Amino acid sequence: MSDVASRVLEVQSLRRSFFSNGVETNVLNGIDFFVQQGEYLAISGPSGSVKSTLLAILGLLDAVFTGTYLFNGYDVAALSGKERTRIRNQEIGFIFQEFNLVADLTVQENVELPLTYRDGISAKLCRQQARDSLKRVGMQHDLNHYPSELSGGQQQRVAVARALAGSPSLLLADEPTGNLDSVSGHTVMDLLSELNREGTTICLVTHNREFAARAKRVIEIADGRIKNRG
């Protein structure tokens, strides 16, 4: 049985609908699950909008839902936009399929960027945390390179470093291998497994069953509902 106090996030009866031309489409239909501190959870399912919609809610990017979402004890529905922004910046690290690196910033500057939006953190500390994070993913020798000078796998490693630099409570990975070749994809997944062994809490969203199976627990979603719990 899980320890409720150690849950990084928990959703209960989570629902999300969209309206178009007066027609309501239910995308999430009563989702229930949790993520424990230090856990590696995969949310798997066919390609489509369901997993991305769920991830937007989990990452505090979308607050239009019904049901309950608790993040580190916060009732997300009760938070102001400013509070959600603060928590997202300080406690959640994002890894996207598209890398989302800024082309005219160096590797180090890209990793530092999210930290610069935090109150009370010095430029010196930003630099040190960025370098420490890049060392964790094996990119410490490419500090002054630009994204265009890196392979896709290297760019995704930088994106992982950026997500880790602020020591988040949760790492959200959205199809992190989607734009990578097979070898680079496996390398990034090996990195995520290593980070989890070091204590990083990870929630992976993927349609790749092989990569989902690397997680310690898998939830399968289809038609807006949980179909299977591993």
pLDDT tens-digit readout, 151-200: 999 999 999 999 999 999 999 999 999 889 999 999 999 999 999 999 99
Q: What is the distance between the alpha carbons of residues 131 and 221, in angstroms, rounded to a whole number? A: 37
In the chain, what percentage of residues exceed pLDDT 70? 98
Among 68, 54, 58, 55, which residue's Cα sits nearest to residue 26? 54
Spell out the domain ranges in the chain.
4-229
**CB–CB of 100/156 below 8 Å?**
no
Q: Is the entire prediction scored with pTM above 0.85?
A: yes
Query: How high is the pLDDT of residue 1?
Result: 46
**CB–CB of 98/179 below 8 Å?**
yes
Superfamily of domain 4-229 in CATH is: P-loop containing nucleotide triphosphate hydrolases (3.40.50.300)
